[in-house]
Chain A
Amino acid sequence: MAHFTKATSVKDWLNQRLAVDKVEKVMASEYWIPKNINFLWAMGMVLLITFSLLLCSGIFLLMYYVPTVEGAFYSVNYTIMREVGFGWLWRHIHGVAASVVFLIMYIHMFTGIYYGSYKKGREMIWLSGMLLFIAFSTEAFSGYMLPWGQMSYWAGMVITNLFAGGSLHADGLVEWIRGDYVPAQAFLGRFFMLHVVLVPVAILGLIGLHFAALRIPHVNNQDGEEIDFEAESKKYLAGDKAGSKVMRFANDFLSKDMMVVGIYLLFFFYLVFYNYGFAMDPVNFDPADGLKTPAHIYPEWYFLWSYEILRPFPIDTGLVLFGLAQGIFVALPFLDRSPNAVPASRRGLFKIWFWAMLCNMILLTSMGKLPPEGIFSQIGLVSAILFVVLWVLLPIITTFEKKL
């Protein structure tokens, strides 16, 4: 049996039982971060903070929300918004955070793409990150069902219909997912469960995996330099802090991180108090009505780009391309055939590919919001085709990329 001695302090008592000192070293003070990074590396922490905001505000919403088709709309728009003290605050925080979290996720993803942080041992970071993206998408969609307004109902109808697989006519599958012929009580109940239990639990697990995946390769840096963390950390611990290429996660890097988080939170709460409208679709302030479609059904802004890839094509082609768009980013580490893990600016054609992809996704996003008419359909179509072409080109241009 392990040998315990009389504790000399509370810390010693804990140390003997939980090895808190060692844990602190492993997790924080001797977890090494390269010095050569910029504010874009703080996005992970910003995401973590935003997720905590979602969790806390969600818990308060949950105390008054009623998951029934008769009660849901009223419980959100009357009880929470008007009766519960500061209920509106939780709702605005929740809505704004659900929207902003996607903005930060996209920045986080494109940072990774720009600096090539998905290869040379960092594949698992990328894959776990994409799983998080999928989990957050599911979380956002299921949450959007809960107020049971017109957009909840019709987005639920349209998205569950995707599972019929176009000409496959898997209507049985769609009815199984809904538990009814149309979205109704069974549907609301199961999406409520997904939103407040299953998906958040999965997200927590995935965050753990994401962090574990960072452990061995460490984070990348602005020059894509391969750092010998063993040697550099020895240098640091030996007192040569200035000469070492690395710093402690806590409190060195954390203080930079929290600086960015602080600025972010000012922006975030500005939105919550003065500019929350963008996160609350006016159409969703009409209660769900299965006999009336809103004039335009569009998803929240963060799904628009993939929605725009679905829209211009006949159903089967549209579905295939939509499925491709949803899944293709997962395959990035394997489609990029070049071993260079350096910033895109030094990677020749890949630099063009990166900016073309980013601009095209912004274009797809803006077209997705506009009604599918005239010139907008044309631009949307070209843009959707360009998206596919870019992915086909990626393995080709990276195969021929000069090795640095």
Chain B
Amino acid sequence: MQDSSRRGFMGKAFGAVAAVGALGSLVAMKSSWDPLPSVKEAGFTTLDMSIYEEGVMVTEKWRGKPIFVLKKSASTMEKEKGNAAAEARNIKVGDSNFMVAIGLCTHLGCIPAFRADSNDFKCACHGGEFTASGLVQKVPPPRGFDIPPFKIEGNKLVLGEVGPEFKKMKDTGITL
């Protein structure tokens, strides 16, 4: 009896030590898969917004992801009028209006292609479509393009930093 209860105690004591060890190793293993600090620090890109031409879609790069920059023409702005969802996503730098967005389909992350003649985007992977303002035109994408964190500094746009304009978009649920 005494013997078996002593074994029982040893079993429990071992169990407790093993549980602490297992928990500790899980924490270590989880952290080993986290993005490295060097990866996180390389996360800023500055764009000079004065070089873009109207109606010409340019793809920039930020954190390894494509960033769509489209300077909107007067006719696009005209079309957006009254469409609150489109207007709320507009990014104004100086006198120019831009659509700036992460160029990955919000469905599963392919890069939609810009179609200059119809002034919209089409995703080849599962057939999703987006307007020139970045809103969904055809499912399966669940929402418009995501907008990267940005800060307007004069003629420049710093991607990766959160400025007041971006904060407002985020708080109102315009982007994630």
| B19 interfacial by beta-carbon distance below 8 Å | no
A377 vs B108: C-alpha distance when bound (angstroms): 18
Chain B residues, CB < 8 A from A290: 61, 64-66
A356 vs B33: C-alpha distance when bound (angstroms): 43
Option from B36, B66, B110, B124 in Cβ contact (under 8 Å) with A291? B66
Chain B residues, CB < 8 A from A313: 140
Known: A181-B64, A290-B65. A158 touches B125 (CB 8 A): yes
A161 vs B65: C-alpha distance when bound (angstroms): 14
B64 and A295 contact, CB distance less than 8 A:
no
A292 vs B110: C-alpha distance when bound (angstroms): 9
Known: A190-B33, A377-B127. A166 touches B142 (CB 8 A): yes
Other A-B contacts than A181-B35, A291-B66, 5 sampled, CB-CB below 8 A, are: A157-B109, A176-B30, A180-B35, A371-B124, A372-B126
Q: How many residues of chain A have a CB within 8 Å of chain B?
A: 39
CB of A364 to closest CB in B, whole Å: 15
B109 and A158 contact, CB distance less than 8 A:
yes
Chain A residues, CB < 8 A from B65: 181-182, 290
Option from B33, B66, B139 in Cβ contact (under 8 Å) with A314? B139
Q: Quick one: CB contact mask for A283-294 with B, threshold 8 Å, 1 for yes? A: 000000011111
| B10 interfacial by beta-carbon distance below 8 Å | no
Question: Measuring CB to CB, which residues of chain A are less than 8 angstroms from any residue of chain B?
Answer: 154, 157-158, 161-162, 166-167, 169, 171, 175-182, 184, 186, 190, 290-297, 311-316, 318, 371-373, 377
Chain A residues, CB < 8 A from B104: 157
A172 vs B61: C-alpha distance when bound (angstroms): 20
Known: A154-B110, A176-B33, A176-B34. A182 touches B127 (CB 8 A): no
A291 and B125 contact, CB distance less than 8 A:
no
B109 and A186 contact, CB distance less than 8 A:
no
- What 3 pairs across the A-B complex have the smallest Cβ distances? A182-B64, A293-B111, A181-B63
A108 vs B142: C-alpha distance when bound (angstroms): 38
Chain A residues, CB < 8 A from B110: 154, 157-158, 293, 297
